[in-house]
Amino acid sequence: MSFEKSEQLYKEAKDVILGGVNSPSRSYKGIGGGTPVFMKKGKGPYFWDEDDNQYIDYLAAYGPIITGHAHPHITKAIQEAAEDGVLFGTPTTHENRFAHMLRDAIPSLERVRFVNSGTEAVMTTIRVARAYTGRDKIIKFAGCYHGHSDLVLVAAGSGPSTLGNPDSAGVTESIAKEVITVPFNDIDAFEEALNHWGNEIAGVLVEPIVGNFGIVEPKPGFLKSVNELAHEAGALVIYDEVITAFRFMYGGAQNLLGVEPDLTALGKIIGGGLPIGAYGGKKKIMEEISPLGPAYQAGTMAGNPASVRAGIACLEVLQQTNVYEKLDLLGQQLEKGIKNSADQHGVPVTINRLKGALTVYFDVEHVSNYEHAEESNGDKFAYFFKELLKRGINLAPSKYEAWFLTTEHSEADVNDTIKAVDDVFLNWKYA
Ligand code: PMP
């Protein structure tokens, strides 16, 4: 397999685009470097790079592409939007329809607002929580990514529940002091944080099922306890469902798990591949937002017809029967195939999977928080990634990301993937 054109394009890119990529995770920095593959075209579960190599895609653009590339129903919606005009700066009927679809699927969204990215959605839920409670601080869980707004680029301090440190240059100490980071799935650490700062906490930001240090489910009762303790302390509960909404069922992780937050942030899948974000929640809380309330949020592109019509079309595809059953069955098949092959060749892997999303960790026995994921072997993941790429299987280039199946993957695609994995494990350089 030649990557000649990608190599040339990467050289050209670095000369004009900072770092050659428009989002750092697209560089291969996290896997020891290399040339990111430049994709040219995608169809269904496949995409093709500029050197005309074909891949089975498990990156799914970091999540949004749940119906595969260029799904005809979504393509048609985008074409129609283009013909009708993509931006008016006025309300449209499509926004009403889409907001109803979201609320029907996720009833805690009594009122909704559309924005343009997951980052914006999360950032605004924090503002709403602060406006509503009149408090400043937030609690987040270690290793969970919530976009790149200042407040959420804060990492854990040294203890189990301490004030945070900036995780990025340009995020000030004074901002980091507003964030308390505790380990996911550790209700004692959470309670300790509330005992210490409870009356200063505006909101608790939670990925109800983690997608950002691999797929990690909450322990039974964890989210319920978080809700109860947060509410006792007078704090709001904010679910970041940017990855999870419509990923595991038609609705949110909150529906799947039977827990209800006060506010929810959405993105990714709900745009059908076009840029979008949304946030919403209890009416009386959302009424803090302008034009009804004193908290400001706006957007020239917010609710633009192209993204909204693509999002409606994507949800329509996901409403079809058996979509999530199929994703689950393919996920089972993939998990079982990788695990069997790893066992056969003596490669120590742990696979966390929920329905059509999974993560393969090397050299750790169990992953239920960030620390465990950190301990997984990054060198082995990097080798696995690069060897699979050469065999036409494309994953996200990070040991912390998930594999995402789409509605367009077939059993044959999964079998081909397992064969490629088996070949990599057969020739495993760490054996
Ligand atoms: N929240 C979560 C859980 C995410 O995974 C991401 C993106 N990976 C974001 C927020 C930010 O979304 P965006 O990249 O659309 O700004």
| Final residue belonging to a domain, choices 318, 340, 355 | 318
Is the domain of 57 the same as that of 99?
no
The answer to whether residue 154 scores a pLDDT higher than 90 is no
How far CA 59 is from CA of 35, 46, 143, 403, 428, in Å, comes to: 16, 10, 20, 6, 23
Atom of ligand 1 nearest to the CA of 62: 8
pLDDT digits over 367-394, tens only? 999 999 999 999 999 999 999 999 999 9
The answer to whether residue 195 scores a pLDDT higher than 90 is yes
pLDDT digits over 43-77, tens only? 999 999 999 999 999 999 999 999 999 999 999 99
The answer to whether residue 156 scores a pLDDT higher than 90 is no
pLDDT grade, residue 157 (50/70/90)?
A: low
Instruction: Please identify which of the residues 10, 62, 145, 279 carries the catalytic annotation.
Output: 145
Residues 244 and 416: their CA atoms lie apart, in Å, by 27
Question: How far apart are the CA of 292 and the centre of ligand 1, in A?
Answer: 27
Instruction: Give the number of C-alpha atoms closer than 13 A to the C-alpha of residue 230, restricted to the C-beta side.
Output: 28
Closest-CA residue, ligand 1 atom 12, reads: 118
Other C-beta atoms closer than 10 Å to the C-beta of 336 total 14
Is the domain of 90 the same as that of 65?
no
Which one is predicted more confidently, 121 or 156?
A: 121
Range of the domain at 214: 72-318
40 in active site:
no
Question: How far apart are the CA of 256 and the centre of ligand 1, in A?
Answer: 20
Atom of ligand 1 nearest to the CA of 120: 16
Instruction: Please identify which of the residues 240, 262, 328, 413 carries the catalytic annotation.
Output: 240
pLDDT value at residue 93: 98
pLDDT digits over 243-276, tens only? 999 999 999 999 999 999 999 999 999 999 999 9
Question: How far apart are the CA of 115 and the centre of ligand 1, in A?
Answer: 13
Does 239 reside within a domain?
yes
Question: How far apart are the CA of 9 and the centre of ligand 1, in A?
Answer: 27
pLDDT value at residue 162: 57
Q: What is the mean pLDDT of residues 205-216?
A: 97
Residues contacting residue 266 through CB under 8 Å, at least 6 positions apart? 102, 118, 121, 241, 242, 245, 252, 277, 278, 279, 280
Question: How far apart are the CA of 208 and the centre of ligand 1, in A?
Answer: 14
Is the domain of 263 the same as that of 351?
no
Q: Which of 59, 125, 184, 243 to mutate to test the pocket of ligand 1 (most atoms within 8 A of CB)?
A: 243
Number of folded domains in the chain?
A: 2
The set of protein residues with a Cβ atom below 6 angstroms from ligand 1 is 62, 117-119, 122, 145-147, 207, 211-212, 240, 242-243, 267
Question: How far apart are the CA of 412 and the centre of ligand 1, in A?
Answer: 31
ipTM over 0.90: yes
Does 162 reside within a domain?
yes
Is the domain of 158 the same as that of 238?
yes
Instruction: Please identify which of the residues 57, 58, 262, 268 carries the catalytic annotation.
Output: 268
Is the domain of 155 the same as that of 189?
yes
Does 431 reside within a domain?
no
pLDDT value at residue 167: 82
The answer to whether residue 431 scores a pLDDT higher than 80 is no
pLDDT grade, residue 404 (50/70/90)?
A: very high
145 in active site:
yes
Closest-CA residue, ligand 1 atom 13, reads: 118
Please state, for a pLDDT cut of 70, what percent of the chain lies above it.
98
Closest-CA residue, ligand 1 atom 9, reads: 147
Is the domain of 330 the same as that of 206?
no
- What DSSP letter does each residue of 91-126 carry, written as one string? --HHHHHHHHHHHHHSTT-SEEEEESSHHHHHHHHH
Does 251 reside within a domain?
yes
| Final residue belonging to a domain, choices 318, 341, 368 | 318
Is the domain of 255 the same as that of 347?
no
CA dihedral 70, 145, 170, 157 (to 10 degrees): -170
Is the domain of 346 the same as that of 295?
no
pLDDT value at residue 160: 47
Determine phi and psi for 359, rounding to 5 degrees. -130, 140
Closest-CA residue, ligand 1 atom 1, reads: 146
Q: Which of 23, 145, 307 to mutate to test the pocket of ligand 1 (most atoms within 8 A of CB)?
A: 145
Determine phi and psi for 214, rounding to 5 degrees. 85, 180
CATH number at residue 286: 3.40.640.10
| Final residue belonging to a domain, choices 287, 318, 349 | 318
Question: How far apart are the CA of 342 and the centre of ligand 1, in A?
Answer: 31
Is the domain of 119 the same as that of 227?
yes
| SS3 labels along 225-254 | HHHHHHHHCCCEEEEECCCCCCCCCCCCHH
Q: Which of 242, 248, 274, 359 to mutate to test the pocket of ligand 1 (most atoms within 8 A of CB)?
A: 242
Atom of ligand 1 nearest to the CA of 212: 5
Radius of gyration of the chain measured on its C-alpha atoms: 21
Question: How far apart are the CA of 303 and the centre of ligand 1, in A?
Answer: 18
Is the domain of 363 the same as that of 382?
yes
188 in active site:
no
CATH number at residue 357: 3.90.1150.10
Q: Which of 116, 119, 247, 274 to mutate to test the pocket of ligand 1 (most atoms within 8 A of CB)?
A: 119
Is the domain of 312 the same as that of 332?
no
Question: How far apart are the CA of 252 and the centre of ligand 1, in A?
Answer: 15
Atom of ligand 1 nearest to the CA of 122: 10
Cis bond upstream, residue 183 (ω within 30): no
